[in-house]
Amino acid sequence: MMRQYELVERVQAYNPNTDEALLNKAYVYAMQKHGTQKRASGDPYFAHPLEVAAILTDLKLDDASIAVALLHDTIEDTDATRAEIDQLFGPEIGAIVDGLTKIDRLQLVTREEAQAENLRKLLLAISADVRVLLVKLADRLHNMRTLDFMPENKRKRIATETMDIYAPLAGRMGMQDMRQELEDLAFRVLQPDHYQAITDRLGEMKSEFADTIKTIKTELSEKLKGDGIDARVSARVKSPWSIFTKIERKQIALEQLSDMIGFRVIVPTVADCYKALGIVHTNWKVVPGRFKDYISVPKHNDYRSIHTTIVGVGRQRAELQIRTEEMHRIAELGIAAHALYKEGATDIHKIENESKAFVWLRSTISHLTAGSSTEDFLEYTKLELFQDQVFCFTPRGRLIALPRGATPIDFAYALHTDIGDTCVGAKINGQIVPLVTQLRSGDEVEIIRDQNHLPPSNWETIAATGKARAAIRRAVRQQAQARAYALGEHMVSILLEREGTGLDDGEFKALAEGLGQPSKRELLIALGEGKIGGEDLDTQVMEVKGIKRRRKKIDLPVPDKAEGWFALKATDEFRFRVPGNPRSGPRAKAALTQLDFNTRVEVSPEGVVPGDRLVGIMTPDTPITIYPIHSDALSELYDSDVAWIDVRWDLAGREEHDHPCVISMQAQNKPGSLAQISTVIAACEANIHNLVMRMESPDFHRFIFQIEVRDLAQLTDVLNSLKLTAGISDVQRASVAEARSLDRLEWTAPERQEEPA
């Protein structure tokens, strides 16, 4: 365990003016408070805060940060209080320790609602003082290094939290070395087999390509020196996690990955970076498409460097990173490398001009304090944390940074929400392209707009940014509410017109309250959405207006003193039960014949499956007609003077019989869409009987399937599974017109989309 004087010497090595008294006092106080506490490894607990402080000395942080590292667990795990910390070490250190204590109490791997709320608290704590994040990352790094002593379930929870939250946060703050170590440590816990396979291969490569690496280093150094550039060349092998993600992304085997060796070329000036690039490209073959200039266009986390890939000795690919010493320092330390921070400017507003990472942090904090929903916030933050970026330009040259996989829809919403909502098309580098086209760095994107356009719901499956998805979801929700409001208003209007009356504002308020709604608007929306039935509305209106309804009585032709149910076989395919005689089977059929109680069944083209609600419609002069509740015919009978009789299924002996029904959905125009849908349906154990596909736009197709299911529960399982499938939207029971198209076998083949030049 590091001694007191050793810690002070580590700080003095980069800060000769360190407050030695502060560090000594924090060391002694923390050691006394933790006392005889032990870690899971059996080591004294105080060894943990001491190691956290040592990690921060590697980042060359200020005295207050080192003191906080020593004290960070005292409030959480000992009898120390915030007031005592404030009194002994000052309110600045006390506030940081208190912020870390609140973070330690968060469980970031929980159900989504709780996780989002805890992520809010985490980012708000960071926003108060960025040193909270630096100490927390060092704390998490040491915990991950000693994770082997924890129970397996706790190891996996902590590793998942690290991979999902802390490693991406370190990356966003530009702390690449820390991010890489956190990812590799978490990877080892979460996928030990893959980790072992990759590390074994890396071990083999180090010996197998040792001579190649040495040769490339020597040649690079000599070529650069010969042209007057004093360069420092170092070799490295990529991390196990970065190799694994590349294998997954490219869908290749480990043996096929050819660029696991990287070289860093550190030169004195920016001009030397470009001069060195010219020398490299002149003397070695370059791999096309692997050049990136992050000096001209820095990454979101302030990272600056030139990347290129060459074919070296033995046809071995090698990635080169060319940068200055200052760029290298920022690449390794991120926000901890900024001079403003070391001078005590911990306020995020003062540092943002020096660090793009702080601009992102402010943007995220602004989003979380803007009242966005839990679901939207969690999605927004995770998307922003995880994605690498591409850089595109507007026609006027404005630079827009977007996540990898972003589309023109994301670009439009990045410019402004109104531009996104009214986007109807896009040009990339002067050519009109589908909105599903993924953007690449350097693209010039022009958005085509229509002020009367609103975003369709299926855009949410295309968008890659949290901002775009949240805006689309909000716009779709507003459209749905507007439609529901208009429908609800129409329902009330018809009812009032039929009764020959009206409602003033006071009566409307009473009507809304009587139906459990806070206002007229919410009432009309609930009516349009079907949350309140027409019968409930009718009853409540009559109550508000003080009208006693005179109902026309319809006598049903059933036996005297009849109670219970009798079974009625309506067709060869269906058996229904209706109120009436308790007898069943042939005797019930005979009783019906004697009573002249005739029925017929309206089966809609969309299909009827057991579990669908059935309604019997009866007038005094006609037999009962039984309809499924989704039949279009029922809408014409809504205001008719007929009797509505609830009907239920009798499936005795027919439980395993399959029933046809028709479903409809919209899917992205991409290879494998049909196979993806078929796989989902098959996984639900449903059978596909027929299929029609139509092109609705260059980006989307409409699929209409006739499937066979046992009952409504299985159908619901199919629909829900399809709704959760990426690239598929607007999943529902088919309309009558869609269902009838199956009989005509209307198949529209997709048009071939040419790639833009």
119: tokens are 């992520």
Beta bridge partners of residue 579, listed in sequence order:
565
Among the listed ranges 328-342, 498-512, 534-548, which one has the minimum average pLDDT value?
A: 328-342
Does position 615 have pLDDT exceeding 80, yes or no?
no
Task: Dump the DSSP string for 317-370.
Answer: EEEEEEEEHHHHHHHHHGGGG-HHHHTT---HHHHTTT-HHHHHHHHHHHHHTT
Confidence (pLDDT) at 67: 92
Report pLDDT digits (tens) over 147-160: 988 888 888 888 98
Q: How confident is the model at residue 353 (pLDDT cuts 50, 70, 90)?
A: very low
- Give the number of other CB atoms < 10 A from CB of residue 720: 11
List the one residue out of 275, 262, 270, 281 whose CA is nearest residue 325: 270
More confident residue, 264 or 3: 264
Does position 701 have pLDDT exceeding 80, yes or no?
yes
Report pLDDT digits (tens) over 69-120: 999 888 888 888 889 999 999 988 888 888 777 665 555 544 444 555 556 6
Confidence (pLDDT) at 646: 59
Lateral strand order in the sheet of 700-709: 687-695, 700-709, 659-668, 728-733
Confidence (pLDDT) at 381: 58
Active centre residues (catalytic): 76-77
Query: What CA–CA distance (Å, rounded) separates 27 from 10?
Result: 14
**Polymer length in residues for the chain:** 757
Cβ neighbors of 553 (< 8 A, separation 6 or more) are none
Among the listed ranges 167-176, 382-391, 498-507, 627-636, which one has the minimum average pLDDT value?
A: 382-391
Buried b (16+ CB within 10 A) or exposed e, 266-286: bbeebebbebbbebbeeebeb
List the one residue out of 171, 220, 411 whose CA is nearest residue 322: 220
